[in-house]
Structure 1
Amino acid sequence: MQTIQANGYSIYFNENCYTFLSETLYKEAYSKIFIVVDSETANYCMPDFLANLATEIPIEIIEFEAGEVYKNIETCTHIWQALTELGADRKSIIINVGGGVVTDLGGFVASTYKRGIDFINVPTTLLAMVDASVGGKNGVDLGNLKNQVGVIQNPIAVLIDTHYLETLPQSQMRSGLAEMLKHGLIQDRAYWTKFGDLSSLDTDDLNELIHQSVIIKNNVVTQDPTEKGLRKALNFGHTLGHAIESYFLENENKETLLHGEAIAIGMILESYLSLEKELLTENEYQEIKSVIADIYPAVPFTEKDIENCIDLLIHDKKNEFGKVKFALLNGIGAVKIDEEIENDLIYKAFDDYKN
């Protein structure tokens, strides 16, 4: 697959990843390589990654526990301390190998250690490949609030080796698929249509869909790297989706939702809001709801659940002057940003989802 040029860095695919990596490590003569992984990546992905890492530069591996609950400042502090004790200097490089938690957190650690050192992202989940590793957003959660602390800082490269997807359970593949569905809904109707029948897709089809999804996100980010306008389109499904994800994360009586599972619910809810604002037709809304519902099982919500999720909206990082702002669909393949929605309409969206 062809290399994609982003803002100041490149996104390499499959066999091109390791050619770039070997050449760059040799050319830049880094003092040390620090590989940041979580416990899942360490077990399933590190053997293959290390087998492809051709270098004589000293390597240190820093591991933390897997899971969104560890995407916090405490984990960063642990890694910053490990880097210091292991002699990391400004000529060191961090390679983040893992899913979105690893690339988000590892990028934040690298961007802030000694005021910033080079880092490379090697996403190993579908979600990270098509979303978390592209666009330079790095950060951590604050309590149960998603991505409250962070920076926008680009890696020197993103290396996407789809071979790592073979290590994923189906739930993780579904989670990543949500962002691909979103990319079609916000910018490319023809791309969205390809997800109407997933049963006929083979490995080559998936590779092409991943490549195309990265192109869509990269096109948006390249035009608006600091999220002043167009990039807000990528928030479709995420305003309510993040609130749902946060609520289920903090509530011990709820089974934690994967990011994509929460975003899938958010996309249905926010498609309903688009319908109510007369931005979507009834047929378009039913099409969206049907495709997503076929992939993701319905999640039950009590009235108290809905109330708590809505209460969390005020903490969404996209809000301005205390007002909740949504990116809504303006037909399939287009978005209208900065739409204000009253709570009564959000309750209606949840009622429609439950029915």
Structure 2
Amino acid sequence: MDSISANDSFIHFNKKCYHALNEHLKKNNFSKIFILVDENTHQHCLPIFIDKIETNVAIEIIEIESGEENKNIDTCVGVWNTLSELNADRKSLMINVGGGVITDLGGFVACTFKRGIAYVNVPTTLLSMVDASVGGKTGVDLGVLKNQIGVISNPDLVLIETRFLNSLPVNQMRSGLAEMLKHGLITGESYWNKFLDLSKLSLDDLDELIYESVIIKKNVVLQDPFENGLRKTLNFGHTLGHAIESFYLSDPKKPTLLHGEAIIIGMILACYISTELVGFPKESTLAIKDLFTNYYGHTNIDKNDYASIIDLLKYDKKNNHGNINFVLLESIGKCKIDCIVPEEVIIDAFNFYALK
């Protein structure tokens, strides 16, 4: 697969990853290399990755705990302190090897340490490969509120080595697939139709689908790097999806919902709202609900929790002037942004999702 240029960053795939990284190390006089991992990528990915690095520059490994609950400023402070203790300077390089938590947090740490050091992202989950790999969004959560603190800044390189997916559990693979399904809904029938029989998808299909998903997101981001218009379409399903994810994170009695699992619910709700407000075909909404729930199962959301989830919408990053802005679908591949949705329609959407 050809490498992809995205603004001032390059995305490389599989065998080209290590050649590109080693050339980058040769061209730049980095003082030290810091590799950020969690306990999972330390065990499963780092041995493969570090064996391919060709450099005489000193390498230090920094490990943080995995999980969305650790994507916060406290973890950043720990990494910043470790960088200081290990004498990192402005010519240091940070390489983030992990899923979205690692690449988001590691990118933010790099962008803010000594007002910015170079960094490289090595996404190791399907979600991070197709979502966090493009666009330069870095950041952390504020309590249970998703991605409230951060900056937009591109890494020098993104290295997508799909071999790392072999170590992922099924639920993590499904979580990543949710973002690819979103790309299909907002882009058009050609890509969307490749997912209509999810039972037939295999790991062999993934390389091509990942590549196409990265191209889709890159094309959107290049036209609107700071999310003033078109890039908002990438948030389809995320307004309510993030609120649901945050709500479930806030209550230890609730089952754990991965990002993609929450976004799947958010997309079903957004399809219903789209039908009600902008004319998205009802039969398409019903078909999407069936497809998603057959593959992902059904989460029982208590009616008593609707108000608490809706209250979290006020923290959504797309909001402005006190308005909660939704991305809706007029048809597959045709989005309408900055839509104001009455609360009663949101409640109706939850009731629609609850029907089995």
TM-score normalised by length of structure 1: 0.99
Residue 251 of structure 2 aligns with which residue? 251
- The 5 A counterparts of 1:77-92 are 77-92=77-92
Residue 223 of structure 1 aligns with which residue? 223
**C-alpha displacement of 1:320:** 0.6
- The 5 A counterparts of 1:268-307 are 268-307=268-307
SS of the residue 2:140 aligns to: strand
| Contact kept? 2:278, 2:328, Cα under 8 Å | no
- The 5 A counterparts of 1:202-351 are 202-351=202-351
**C-alpha displacement of 1:321:** 1.2
Q: Deviations over 1:59-104 (max 9, x none)?
A: 0011110000000000000000000110100110000000000000
Whole-Å Cα distance in 1 between the matches of residues 278 and 230 of structure 2? 21
Whole-Å Cα distance in 2 between the matches of residues 5 and 126 of structure 1? 20
- Gaps (5+ residues) in structure 2? none
Whole-Å Cα distance in 1 between the matches of residues 17 and 272 of structure 2? 41
**C-alpha displacement of 1:278:** 3.4
SS of the residue 1:135 aligns to: coil
Residue 131 of structure 2 aligns with which residue? 131
2:80 is matched by which residue type in structure 1? Answer: W
SS of the residue 1:138 aligns to: coil
Residue 72 of structure 1 aligns with which residue? 72
2:154 is matched by which residue type in structure 1? Answer: N
Residue 16 of structure 2 aligns with which residue? 16
Moved over 2 A (4+): 198-204
TM-score normalised by length of structure 2: 0.98
Distance verdict in 2 for CA 1:47–1:255, change over 3 Å: same
Q: Deviations over 1:20-45 (max 9, x none)?
A: 00111111021100001111111111
2:305 is matched by which residue type in structure 1? Answer: D
Whole-Å Cα distance in 2 between the matches of residues 114 and 330 of structure 1? 46
Residue 107 of structure 1 aligns with which residue? 107
SS of the residue 2:141 aligns to: strand
| Contact kept? 1:126, 1:165, Cα under 8 Å | yes
| Contact kept? 2:72, 2:140, Cα under 8 Å | yes
| Count of residue correspondences | 355
Whole-Å Cα distance in 2 between the matches of residues 178 and 202 of structure 1? 15
2:322 is matched by which residue type in structure 1? Answer: G
SS of the residue 1:248 aligns to: helix
1:330 is matched by which residue type in structure 2? Answer: E
**C-alpha displacement of 1:338:** 0.2
Residue 194 of structure 2 aligns with which residue? 194
1:221 is matched by which residue type in structure 2? Answer: V
- Gaps (5+ residues) in structure 1? none
Whole-Å Cα distance in 2 between the matches of residues 214 and 186 of structure 1? 14
| Contact kept? 2:17, 2:161, Cα under 8 Å | yes
| Higher mean C-alpha deviation, range 46-55 or range 117-126 | 46-55
| Contact kept? 1:38, 1:65, Cα under 8 Å | yes
| Contact kept? 1:175, 1:261, Cα under 8 Å | yes
Residue 26 of structure 2 aligns with which residue? 26
Two-structure CA RMSD over aligned residues (Å): 0.9
**C-alpha displacement of 1:116:** 0.5
SS of the residue 2:138 aligns to: strand
| Higher mean C-alpha deviation, range 159-168 or range 304-313 | 304-313
**C-alpha displacement of 1:119:** 0.3
Whole-Å Cα distance in 1 between the matches of residues 287 and 354 of structure 2? 17
SS of the residue 1:330 aligns to: strand
**C-alpha displacement of 1:202:** 3.5
| Contact kept? 1:186, 1:334, Cα under 8 Å | yes
Residue 185 of structure 1 aligns with which residue? 185
| Contact kept? 2:198, 2:295, Cα under 8 Å | no
SS of the residue 1:227 aligns to: coil
